[in-house]
């Protein structure tokens, strides 16, 4: 179930996005392309003019592969990781990229297409 989406002036969210986070904050001029997955238990904060291009995964919660094994897994590997994601002013996340929990993308940073950011 989607949470609260806070949009400032001149923001844009494209078509066919799956946004399932408790809070998405978009500052003035921020943009989310189409066909993205924004999911997890943490919030996502986008600065002024920050861009998430098309087909990206922005995940504020992940589980290790071991965590999916249930009872066959040692207990230390079963807990999910939850952390907020910050995409600062004028940062750009290229198409088909994956952003993992706890990432802070700095002001003016450019993340190339098909990147995996931990």
Instruction: Tell me the whole-structure pTM to 2 decimals.
Output: 0.87
CB atoms within 10 A of CB 21: 22
Question: Residue 76: CB partners within 8 Å, gap ≥ 6?
Answer: none
Ranges of each domain in the chain: 4-117
CATH superfamily of 4-117: Hexapeptide repeat proteins (2.160.10.10)
pLDDT in tens, 19-41: 999 999 999 999 999 999 999 99
User: What are the pLDDT digits (tens) for 47-83?
Assistant: 999 999 999 999 998 865 554 455 666 666 556 788 9
């Amino acid at each position: 179930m989607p949470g609260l989406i806070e949009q400032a002036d001149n923001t844009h969210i494209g078509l066919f996005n799956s946004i399932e986070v408790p809070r998405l904050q978009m500052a003035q001029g921020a943009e989310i392309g189409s066909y993205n997955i924004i999911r997890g238990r943490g919030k996502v904060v986008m600065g002024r003019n920050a861009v998430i291009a098309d087909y990206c995964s922005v995940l504020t919660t992940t589980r290790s592969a071991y965590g999916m094994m249930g009872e066959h897994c040692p207990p230390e590997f079963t807990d999910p990781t939850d952390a907020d994601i910050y995409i600062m002013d004028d940062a750009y996340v290229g198409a088909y990229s994956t952003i993992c929990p706890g990432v802070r993308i700095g002001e003016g940073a450019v993340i190339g297409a098909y990147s995996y950011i931990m």
